[in-house]
């Protein structure tokens, strides 16, 4: 079938993207789903900073590709051998297509499935196939999803079925920002009631960490960003206080206000500076949990001896350490009960044609989640 999609041919073009147009809206060919694959009609796709980092060339990818890895949609066709899904079902996308058979899948860590990492790097679906073409030229799949498009063919394990009464636009954000931010709190850090928590970087991912820290019963939730408006919203969503990372003496001010730092600090900014800040405000005995994905060349240095003497730990969190078929329904249930009001994080609904300007806004730090609605 033919469909409209946002194609990325070159990384690292200059800003503003509304002028350099790294994503071009083109008519591309999408082949039908093969064995173990499904065709979905994309209802909404969120603009995540990871897509922006791809556009900026901080994370090299096989080109051309169609980005987008956070979406909701409706199943339109199923390939042979697909179980548990039928046309008409509503789904949320998952950016790791777990094989279900490897050591990591078997150990309850499907978010780390190396089969998925390999197919991502190759620009294919989990099966090794490509279903996207521009005439004869193959287009690479992005995280097995490529949802900045009207339709997508994906592996069965790249989607989780959701209840049909959940608004699809709200559901889209669960595919990345909610799993990553809330999962970092619940699964990776395992925040317990009374914990002193900070979140550094209050974007779509970080705000979900704030919401989840509140659900987990954290006694203090310190919100840190470089934009004053983000601090104000975080406090409305449950943060107990806010600090600007750019304010001179901010680290000392936070350490003083918390009598020695935080038990758990979650870094969701995606920069080395933010990680250094997060480590500096972590208390002795505490954990710094990083979920940001900065430039692949960046290195983080720690004073080893002090780290030992203070029993500090550094943890990393990918897709919120989630088991998607278990955690997406759990997180949606929290949303249903008003505990994760993620609608507050939607900054706008935009048509495919506005995608480049949308990434300008994300890059300026002015917005949270913008939803691309291909049918607009
Ligand atoms: N680990 C994962 O599985 C995973 C999944 C999704 C996104 N990510 C990464 O998480 C990061 C956040 O994604 P997002 O979509 O929420 O981005 P975003 O652009 O919406 O938010 C980033 C926030 O960090 C703030 N910030 C920038 N520099 C800062 C600093 N030095 N100190 C404090 N705050 C700072 C910005 O003002 C902004 O509010 C990105 O690096 C993204 O690639 C990781
Ligand atoms: Zn993402
Ligand atoms: Zn696996």
| Torsion angle defined by CA atoms of residues 64, 56, 117 and 169, in that order, rounded to the nearest 10 degrees | -90
- Ligand 1 atom at minimal distance to the Cα of residue 319: 3
Ligand nearest to the CA of 204: 1
> Are 214 and 237 spatial neighbours (Cβ–Cβ below 8 Å)?
yes
User: Does ligand 1 have an atom closer than 6 angstroms to the CB of 251?
Assistant: no
- pLDDT for the residue numbered 136: 86
Strand-pair category, 132-134 with 23-30 = antiparallel
Question: pLDDT tens for residues 252-304?
Answer: 999 999 999 999 999 999 999 999 999 999 999 999 999 999 999 999 999 99
- Assess whether 85 and 8 both reside in one domain: yes
Angle at 236 between CA 235 and CA 240, to 5 degrees: 30
2: phi then psi, degrees, rounded to nearest 5: -100, 145
Measured by CA distance, the residue closest to atom 28 of ligand 1 is 269
- Assess whether 270 and 305 both reside in one domain: yes
- Assess whether 214 and 244 both reside in one domain: yes
- Assess whether 267 and 363 both reside in one domain: no
- The structural domain count of the chain equals 2
**Rounded distance from Cα 214 to ligand 2 centre (Å):** 22
Q: Find where tokens 């900026």 sit.
A: 56
- Assess whether 144 and 234 both reside in one domain: no
- Assess whether 259 and 123 both reside in one domain: no
**pLDDT tens for the chain, residues 1 to 376:** 999 999 999 999 999 999 999 999 999 999 999 999 999 999 999 999 999 999 999 999 999 999 999 999 999 999 999 999 999 999 999 999 999 999 999 999 999 999 999 999 999 999 999 999 998 899 999 999 999 999 999 999 999 999 999 999 999 999 999 999 999 999 999 999 999 999 999 999 999 999 999 999 999 999 999 999 999 999 999 999 999 999 999 999 999 999 999 999 999 999 999 999 999 999 999 999 999 999 999 999 999 999 999 999 999 999 999 999 999 999 999 999 999 999 999 999 999 999 999 999 999 998 999 999 999 9
- pLDDT for the residue numbered 85: 98
For ligand 1, mutation pick of 45, 46, 47, 49 (most atoms within 8 Å of CB) = 49
Sheet holding 282-290, edge to edge: 241-244, 220-225, 196-200, 262-267, 282-290, 313-316
> Are 40 and 75 spatial neighbours (Cβ–Cβ below 8 Å)?
yes
**Rounded distance from Cα 87 to ligand 3 centre (Å):** 26
Question: pLDDT tens for residues 126-149?
Answer: 999 999 999 889 999 999 999 999
Six token digits for residue 106: 């078997």
- Assess whether 156 and 212 both reside in one domain: no
- Assess whether 167 and 248 both reside in one domain: no
CA distance 144 to 343: 26
Closest CA to 15 of 364, 366, 321: 364
Cα 370 to chain centroid, rounded = 13
For ligand 1, mutation pick of 48, 51, 246 (most atoms within 8 Å of CB) = 48
- pLDDT for the residue numbered 135: 87
Strand partners, 197: 221, 264
How far are the Cα atoms of 26, 34, 73, 103 from residue 1, in angstroms, in the given order? 13, 14, 17, 37
CATH of the domain at 234: 3.40.50.720
- Ligand 1 atom at minimal distance to the Cα of residue 270: 41
Max CA pair span of the chain:
63
CA distance 169 to 149: 15
Enclosing domain of residue 283: 181-318
CA distance 369 to 376: 17
Do the domain assignments include residue 336? no
- Assess whether 60 and 24 both reside in one domain: yes
Closest CA to 7 of 177, 171, 135: 135
Six token digits for residue 177: 């920002």
**Rounded distance from Cα 371 to ligand 3 centre (Å):** 30
- pLDDT for the residue numbered 102: 97
User: Does ligand 1 have an atom closer than 6 angstroms to the CB of 342?
Assistant: no
**Rounded distance from Cα 369 to ligand 3 centre (Å):** 30
> Are 263 and 289 spatial neighbours (Cβ–Cβ below 8 Å)?
no
């Amino acid at each position: 079938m033919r469909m409209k999609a946002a194609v990325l041919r070159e990384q690292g073009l200059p800003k503003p993207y509304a002028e350099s147009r790294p994503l071009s809206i083109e008519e591309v060919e999408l082949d039908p789903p093969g064995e173990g694959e499904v065709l979905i009609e994309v209802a909404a796709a969120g603009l995540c900073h990871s897509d922006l980092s791809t556009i900026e060339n901080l994370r090299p990818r096989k080109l051309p590709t169609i980005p987008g890895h956070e979406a909701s949609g409706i199943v339109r066709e199923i390939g042979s051998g697909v179980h548990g899904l039928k046309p008409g079902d509503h789904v949320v996308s998952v950016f790791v297509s777990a094989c279900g058979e490897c050591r990591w899948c078997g150990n309850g860590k499907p978010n780390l499935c190396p089969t998925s990492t390999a197919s991502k790097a190759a620009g294919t679906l989990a099966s090794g196939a490509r279903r996207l073409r521009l005439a004869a030229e193959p287009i690479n799949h992005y995280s097995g999803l490529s949802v900045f498009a009207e339709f997508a063919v994906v592996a069965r394990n790249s989607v989780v079925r959701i209840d049909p009464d959940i608004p699809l636009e709200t559901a889209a954000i669960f595919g990345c920002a909610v799993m990553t931010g809330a999962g970092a709190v619940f699964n990776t850090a395992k925040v317990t009631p009374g914990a002193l928590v900070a979140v550094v970087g209050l974007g779509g991912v970080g705000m979900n960490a704030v919401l989840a820290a509140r659900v987990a019963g954290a006694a203090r939730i310190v919100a840190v960003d470089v934009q004053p408006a983000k601090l104000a919203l975080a406090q409305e969503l449950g943060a107990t206080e806010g600090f600007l990372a750019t304010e001179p003496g901010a680290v000392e001010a936070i350490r003083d206000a918390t009598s020695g730092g935080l038990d758990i600090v979650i870094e969701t900014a995606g920069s080395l500076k933010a990680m250094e800040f997060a480590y500096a405000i972590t208390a002795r005995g505490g954990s710094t949990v990083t979920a940001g994905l900065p430039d692949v060349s960046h290195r983080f240095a720690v004073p080893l001896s002090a780290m030992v003497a203070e029993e500090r730990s550094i943890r990393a969190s990918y897709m919120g350490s989630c088991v998607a078929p278990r955690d997406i329904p759990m997180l949606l249930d929290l949303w249903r009960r008003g505990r994760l009001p993620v609608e507050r994080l939607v900054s706008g609904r935009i048509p495919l044609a506005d995608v480049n300007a949308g990434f300008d806004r994300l890059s300026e730090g002015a917005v949270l989640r913008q939803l691309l609605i291909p049918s607009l």
